[in-house]
Structure 1
Amino acid sequence: MPSPGLRRRVEAIPGVPLPHGILGGCVDIVDIEDMHELLGVEWMSLGCCPVRDTGWCSEESPGAIVPPKEFCSPEAEFAEPHTIYAGAKCSTMGWSYEEAVEQVTATLELGEQRAIEEAFWRDKLAMRAVDLTPADGPVSMAAGVAALEGCLAETYGGIGVLHVPAGAAALLGCCNVLSLVDGTPRTLTGNCAVLGAGYSAQNTGPGGIPADPGTAWLYISGPVLVRRGPVDIIPDRAGPAIDIRLNDLRVLAERTVVVGTTCAVCAINVTLC
């Protein structure tokens, strides 16, 4: 084996984010201009109230009582901010400030999707979901998706998002539960699917309870919207990046995101056998 001193420095091996994660084609992404939105947002729910039908009195049913029409109050919903970051540290003899900035920027670009998925699963999906798992325990993947889509259809009625850990996604293809439609994974009913590495890292049920070995948690929600702020490099110049005590160079790339969904969130535990 050649001596390390003889090795030639070359460009790093580039990476590409997973194509069907939360920043893929399934979710709307807004690069915001109003920085106040990075403090969190709230809105009145739309489409969560049911649309009902009513009958008419006719000559065939004189005196029939038509039930009174029902009214529904939209609920206030909200989404809270999360700041994701990548940090790089190296000896000042090994890297320049510009090289450190390039490193953390590329790292954030590759890994931000997973970090967003982890935060959204942990702080929103797992905290809001209704557990549909039967008393007998985990169900098959196909049965789990069917139950989730039924839950969403009953409470929302529009196209929603199926949230699947990347480690379980392959099992949805073997039963034709998912297929690619214009490059986006979708179910037969039209719901799109996020196949997330961050979801695999969490894989917890409602309340944050970890999945048992051989099982996974699936969630479904209404549409998801990701608001993103700009990427900030900290510090913004070379001088403050140097820790003179250790002669280290430290640089951060940060971005604040606000991820929200609407109406019901349902969850179910499935078997991976």
Structure 2
Amino acid sequence: MPAGLRRYVEAIPGTPLPHGILGASCTTITDVTEDRIHELNGVEWMALGCCPVLDWPDPCEVDESPGEESPGAPVQKEFCRPTTEHASPITVYAGAECSTLGWTYEEARAHAEATLALGEQHALEAAFWRTKLAAEAVDLTPAAGPLSIAQGVAVLEGCLAESYGGVGTLHVPAGAAALLGCCNLVREDPATGSLRTLAGNCAVIGAGYSAINTGPGNVPAEPGTAWLYITGPLVIRRGPADTVPGGPGPSVNIRTNDRRVLVERTYVVGTTCTVCAVQIEVCP
């Protein structure tokens, strides 16, 4: 075939991973409207479900005989003081830079918007992992070292069940996701399309998780290992995508004759109760 100038065609489209933090159907996502825009500055709430519900023993089954010693104080029912939890904003962005001779403002804006749409899930996962999961988790890895993925999931689900008891969220780096199928650890719910463990917890598989893959304290994972986390349910508030600048004139740097267009969006990702972590082997 004779050589010649390459023909310009449309960009290859992409699709975010379906079971990421924005794709998992067990994640509650709310688009923040103008009248509630202040929620994008961060939110706080009274924790629900972190206090235990206890059973009261049948007095007929308890030996209340004082014997030879004086009886102690009567058994009292326990009360739990709820704690206040909060979630901080995470802003993700995509910027397009080009020569004014190459792209119009509309083309640069469209490219930045498409880039954000494809990559914002990845960026949100990485930020949530770094600022929440790795920053607050309790490390359950035994002294003997990393576990198998089946053992790791079992440990995490036990931790969640002890502290919360409701349906929670398992956070898995994409680089370890294939191992979930080895022991039939998750199944796709035909009704919702979400991935569920046998205990019923939702699994979020994140490309952004895989890019970070740090343990508690954001310490990098050792080669051949990965970190898994578990939390309560996720509630995500999503702001509108804002384009800066809003018109072609301010987008041009007259010194370089380059055009810059930025598109950004703010999220607030909330979860509740305990965050637990465990290190697993991916290359045994």
- TM superposition score normalised by structure 1: 0.96
- The 2-side partners of 1:37 and 1:2 are apart by 59
The residue aligned with 2:56 is: 54
Evaluate the alpha carbon distance shift between residue 244 and residue 20 of structure 1 in structure 2; reply closer, same or farther with a 3 A threshold.
same
Shift of 1:67: 2.4
Aligned residue pairs, count: 272
- The 2-side partners of 1:59 and 1:104 are apart by 69
The residue aligned with 1:235 is: 245
Alignment of 1:31-42 (within 5 A): 31-33=31-33, 34-42=36-44
Shift of 1:56: 2.6
Partner SS state of residue 169, structure 1: helix
Evaluate the alpha carbon distance shift between residue 38 and residue 3 of structure 1 in structure 2; reply closer, same or farther with a 3 A threshold.
farther
Alpha-carbon contact 1:20-1:26 (below 8 Å) kept: no
Partner SS state of residue 91, structure 2: strand
Establish whether residue 110 from structure 1 lines up as the match of residue 118 from structure 2.
yes
- The 2-side partners of 1:2 and 1:154 are apart by 70
AA aligned to 2:244 is I
Evaluate the alpha carbon distance shift between residue 54 and residue 251 of structure 1 in structure 2; reply closer, same or farther with a 3 A threshold.
same
- The 2-side partners of 1:16 and 1:230 are apart by 20
Percent pairwise identity: 65
Establish whether residue 129 from structure 1 lines up as the match of residue 137 from structure 2.
yes
The residue aligned with 2:30 is: 30
The residue aligned with 2:184 is: 176
CA offsets, 1:171-193, max 9 Å, x none? 01111011111221110000000
AA aligned to 1:144 is G
CA offsets, 1:60-115, max 9 Å, x none? 85558862100001111000011100000010011010001110101000000000
The residue aligned with 2:106 is: 98
**From 122, 128, 138, the counterpart of 1:120:** 128
Structure 1 regions of 5+ residues with no counterpart? none
Establish whether residue 161 from structure 1 lines up as the match of residue 169 from structure 2.
yes
- The 2-side partners of 1:132 and 1:244 are apart by 56
- The 2-side partners of 1:63 and 1:137 are apart by 49
Alpha-carbon contact 1:42-1:78 (below 8 Å) kept: yes
**From 64, 70, 77, the counterpart of 1:69:** 77
- The 2-side partners of 1:187 and 1:57 are apart by 39
AA aligned to 1:145 is V
- The 2-side partners of 1:244 and 1:59 are apart by 86
- How well do the aligned residues superpose, as a CA RMSD in angstroms? 1.5
Shift of 1:58: 2.5
- The 1-side partners of 2:61 and 2:200 are apart by 42
Structure 2 regions of 5+ residues with no counterpart? 67-71
The residue aligned with 2:156 is: 148
CA offsets, 1:169-217, max 9 Å, x none? 0001111011111221110000000100000011000011010000000
- TM superposition score normalised by structure 2: 0.92
The residue aligned with 1:15 is: 14
AA aligned to 2:60 is S
The residue aligned with 2:214 is: 204
Evaluate the alpha carbon distance shift between residue 97 and residue 176 of structure 1 in structure 2; reply closer, same or farther with a 3 A threshold.
same
Q: Which moved more, 1:19-28 or 1:50-59?
A: 50-59
Shift of 1:26: 2.8
AA aligned to 1:208 is N
- The 2-side partners of 1:75 and 1:120 are apart by 21
- The 1-side partners of 2:61 and 2:45 are apart by 46
- The 2-side partners of 1:13 and 1:270 are apart by 35
